[in-house]
Amino acid sequence: MSTSNQNLYAALRAAFPADLDTWAVETDQGLVYTWRDLDRASAMVANLLQSLGLPEGARVAAQVDKSVEAMVLYLATLRAGLVFLPLNTAYQKAEIGYFIADAEPAVVVCTPAHFGWVSKIAFKAGAQAVFTLGDDRSGSLLERAAHHSDVQTLVPCAADDLAAILYTSGTTGRSKGAMLSHGNLLSNAQVLHAYWGWQSGDVLIHALPIFHVHGLFVAIHAALLNGSPMLWCVQFEPSQVIAWLPRATVFMGVPTLYVRLLADPRLDAEAARHMRLFVSGSAPLLIDTFRAWQARTGQTILERYGMSETTMLTSNPYRADARHGGQAERRGGTVGFPLPGVSLRLVDDRDHPVATGTVGHIQVRGPNVFQGYWRMPEKNREAFTADGWFRTGDVGQQDGRGYLSIVGRNKDLIISGGYNVYPAEIESVINELPGVVESAVVGVPHPDFGEVGVALVVARPGAAMVPEAVLAALKASLANYKVPKRCVLVPDLPRNAMGKVQKNLLRDTYRDSFAG
Ligand code: MCA
Ligand code: AMP
């Protein structure tokens, strides 16, 4: 272990500009924060957390609306050497109940309106403190932090100390908490900083939620590590992003954000003239969107690929990449090359590497690969090969020049507007509804979200069931984005000789549900 402090915040803080009184964040609500504001506020919240005398490795869970203070809470958790556990604001009671029971956070931060039910769940799971944080700087977290010093001594961390746990749903059974260390996050942030050519004068438009890897790590770390200010959308709004483009240089989005921006006629080359980089990821970017963006703005989107377990794995080149014969081309429909330091191989079902050009399972290794799933030793054994490669569950193909294309997944997963939806989870909720015999949820193309779920439900003979009621029942217990956009009652589900539901047939049958 190096003797220097490997706390990720040390590296982020070291990159703050010399003049701390310049702007660091400007929000779409007209608020401006300086670098000094970020440093002082995160010190106060870190001191509050430290005053609780929590044990090493204690978790700080947060289900709060996007705000600069929510980012400050993340930075404070790093500073205090604790483990950040961000939770999607769409999660409902049962989902939150599971995460809190599984992760046993010592501190839970929620919106003021949810304090009643969240605190009940949290204290039952052994939490020591539950604070509130509103999107308007209200709530007990900041009230309590105001009593603490705005100077903090950074807690020392080793590179493999945990910094965050991100829950990713399981294809079967329970959601798994991916444990990411300070070293995982810092190595990836540094690689992306160099690979994407971050430079003096850069300004990032931050338009993504901050409870997943893309918005929380990829976007925020890169900007902070470059001492670059952020134009901060609390919620993605195409007109706001377009209005900000002339003041910005970098934008990151999931494909749905690009589709929605293209739908606004004010997006053109003139509006994007100062931009040097548009990054897309979290879901496949359709080649039509890639081309339409080029035609409208004159700029080429850079697509990259990653996972919660690994942060970023591959990227199209920003500039000529010497390792690949000096090529600089960003190729639509591909996710580019393995990032420096990331090893990637394509293998067959027996983990043997396949020949170039052949489709294979994607496996990776590198300093960015997580520390394993929280308290799930059996899942860790399945997730890694005997020689230490992580099985991504994605299926890909590399061309002769080394560009990787994701051609499928061997996990039953729908990616909708950049959020992951696991059919198994939705099916198990549907199957619990009265009158349901069985169900299948499949992903079909959608013009806005890329892909959405369609639920096929078999009802018990004589049961009075209507599709709208099934969807309404799902809405009551699941995060909204997981609810299928269509439900169809069917007499039975197609099965193969082994009795397995033939989801490919269902996908074909319903693939035009949202066409046009
Ligand atoms: C909202 N809805 C959705 C989604 N979002 N349904 C399916 N998929 C979604 N993604 C629901 C709403 O609850 C609403 O339901 C209805 O669809 C219409 O919502 P709308 O107003 O259009 O939604 P929105 O609030 O504008 O949000 C759309 C969004 C948002 C801006 C695209 O989903 C978003 O921010 N997505 C980004 C996700 C992201 O950051 N992913 C990165 C994960 P109702 O009408 O019933 O109320 S990190 C990752 O994947 C890896 C590591 C990586 O590589 O980055
Ligand atoms: P998550 O569970 O949110 O970490 O989602 C990770 C998954 O998103 C990956 O395993 C891929 O299946 C998918 N993904 C991320 N980026 C891309 C991309 N650029 N193209 C296709 N799929 C992607």
- If you write DSSP's letter for every residue of 412-437 in order, what string do you get? --EEETTEEE-HHHHHHHHHTSTTEE
Minimal-distance CA residue to ligand 1 atom 50: 282
Q: How confident is the model at residue 170 (pLDDT cuts 50, 70, 90)?
A: low
Residues having CB within 6 Å of any atom of ligand 2? 168, 213, 281-284, 303, 305-308, 335, 392-394, 406, 409, 415, 420
Mean pLDDT of 287-314: 98
pLDDT digits (tens, 9 = 90+) for 433-492: 999 999 999 999 999 999 999 999 999 999 999 999 999 999 999 999 999 999 999 999
How far apart (Å, rounded) are the C-alpha atoms in residues 301 and 258? 9
Q: What residue type is assigned to position 202 of the chain? A: D
How far apart (Å, rounded) are the C-alpha atoms in residues 243 and 272? 10
For the record, the structure tokens of 472 come out as: 């309404």
Closest CA to 152 of 307, 31, 330, 5: 5
Beta strand pairing call for 230-232 and 436-446:
unpaired
Rg (CA), the chain: 23
User: Contact at 8 Å (CB) between 368 and 187?
Assistant: yes
Tell me 218's DSSP state. I
Characterise 13 by phi-psi region: left (phi > 0), alpha (psi -120 to 50), beta (else): alpha
Distances (CA, A) of 88 to 309, 317, 411, 455: 17, 31, 22, 23
Closest CA to 272 of 238, 309, 247, 235: 247
Mean pLDDT of 150-162: 98
**Above pLDDT 70, what percent of the chain?**
97
Q: Residue 68: beta bridge partners? A: none
pLDDT for the residue 321 = 67
pLDDT for the residue 327 = 65
pLDDT digits (tens, 9 = 90+) for 117-137: 999 999 999 999 999 999 999
- Torsion sign (Cα): 304, 171, 396, 365: positive
How far apart (Å, rounded) are the C-alpha atoms in residues 468 and 485? 10
For the record, the structure tokens of 512 come out as: 């035009």
How far apart (Å, rounded) are the C-alpha atoms in residues 38 and 373? 31
Cα of 279 from ligand 1 centre, angstroms: 18
Q: What is the mean pLDDT of the chain?
A: 96
pLDDT digits (tens, 9 = 90+) for 64-110: 999 999 999 999 999 999 999 999 999 999 999 999 999 999 999 99
Helix 93-103 to helix 115-124 angle (10° resolution) is: 30
Ligand nearest to the CA of 406: 2
φ, ψ for residue 404 (rounded to 5)? -95, 135
pLDDT for the residue 322 = 66
For a substitution probing ligand 1, which of 449, 471, 487, 514 has the most ligand atoms within 8 Å of its CB? 449
Beta strand pairing call for 176-181 and 162-168:
antiparallel
Task: Give how far the C-alpha of residue 349 lies from the chain's centroid of Cα atoms, to the nearest Å.
Answer: 28
User: Contact at 8 Å (CB) between 54 and 82?
Assistant: yes
Cα of 14 from ligand 1 centre, angstroms: 34
Minimal-distance CA residue to ligand 2 atom 10: 307
Q: Give the count of beta carbons closer than 10 Å to the beta carbon of residue 505.
A: 14
For a substitution probing ligand 1, which of 234, 240, 254, 411 has the most ligand atoms within 8 Å of its CB? 254
Residue whose token pair is 């969240």? 118
pLDDT for the residue 2 = 46
Characterise 476 by phi-psi region: left (phi > 0), alpha (psi -120 to 50), beta (else): alpha
Q: What residue type is assigned to position 494 of the chain? A: P
User: Contact at 8 Å (CB) between 438 and 431?
Assistant: yes
Closest CA to 412 of 510, 502, 512, 307: 502
Angle at 165 between CA 241 and CA 310, to 5 degrees: 70
pLDDT for the residue 346 = 98
Cα of 395 from ligand 2 centre, angstroms: 11
How far apart (Å, rounded) are the C-alpha atoms in residues 490 and 479? 25
Q: Residue 327: beta bridge partners? A: 321
User: Alpha helices of 245-308 — where are they, by DSSP H?
Assistant: 255-262, 287-297
- 321 or 3, greater pLDDT: 321
pLDDT for the residue 411 = 87
Which domains, ranges and CATH numbers included, belong to the chain?
1-22+35-157 (3.40.50.12780), 413-510 (3.30.300.30)
pLDDT digits (tens, 9 = 90+) for 343-352: 999 999 999 9
pLDDT for the residue 516 = 72
Q: Residue 21: beta bridge partners? A: none
Angle at 462 between CA 457 and CA 467, to 5 degrees: 35
Cα of 217 from ligand 1 centre, angstroms: 18
How far apart (Å, rounded) are the C-alpha atoms in residues 245 and 231? 10
pLDDT for the residue 121 = 98
Task: Give how far the C-alpha of residue 334 lies from the chain's centroid of Cα atoms, to the nearest Å.
Answer: 20
Beta strand pairing call for 129-132 and 107-110:
parallel
pLDDT for the residue 123 = 98
For the chain, what percentages of helix, strand and coil (3-state, to nearest 5) are there? 30, 25, 45
pLDDT digits (tens, 9 = 90+) for 391-430: 999 999 999 999 999 999 988 999 999 999 999 999 999 9
